[in-house]
Chain A
């Protein structure tokens, strides 16, 4: 099925560092969502974006819906060990109701 291009695939950082990851699509999306998944669990919603240009924060997390509606980024500031996990972007395009997922960014944080 269709997937979004998410990068980087993995990141190894020190506690306290900032992190940035992004997703791009060849088609326009009208919803962008960012999820975190822990091992053996379902994805948990972090931030939802519904309008082009929208910039939304959730604690140390900030995400933006790109102006072109074909991209989004997620920033995590001052990372902590519990930020470890896999982060997925997900989008919904104009054609469907289901979410399409990126391939994920695996984040490792060393203290």
Chain B
């Protein structure tokens, strides 16, 4: 089945530094990737949608200069949290949607990244 690999699973960083999270589709081409943020005991909130080779579309209230998304290839998307602050601490999850053998596969999620900013 479709597999999405997300790294790192956990990261602790100091305030003011930047953190990059990678999301890779291992056995299919992800034409679209989505980035979600999840607070404890809460639902997943969509941050942005990115199509391969295009600029990401951000949801209202999400700062595009703070959360940089790059989707340069059909198998890799990255989310960079720039100048991180403690309020950016959260669980970040990517999801990939793409074609596999010509069929629309659907949505596969990564295992998430727990970001803690100290």
Residues in chain A within 8 A of chain B (CB atoms): 1, 3, 33, 35, 40-45, 48, 88, 90, 96-104, 106
Contacts and interface: CB of A to CB of B under 8 A. Distances in A.
Q: Interface residues of B: mostly helix, strand, loop or mixed?
A: strand
Sorted nearest first, the 6 A-B pairs with minimum C-beta distance are A42-B109, A42-B111, A101-B44, A42-B112, A103-B43, A101-B43
B45 A1 contact: yes
B6 to A, nearest CB: 7
Contacts, number: 54
Contact of A45 (B6, B49, B106): B106
Given A1-B59, A97-B49, A40 B112 contact: yes
A11 to B, nearest CB: 15
A42 B110 contact: yes
B89 to A, nearest CB: 14
Interface residues of B, number: 26
Interface string B104-116: 0011111110100
Contacts of A41: 111-112
Contacts of A101: 36, 43-45
Given A40-B91, A41-B112, A97-B49, 9 more contacts: A33-B107, A35-B109, A42-B112, A43-B109, A45-B108, A98-B34, A99-B107, A103-B42, A104-B42
B32 A100 contact: no
Interface in B40-58: 41-46, 49
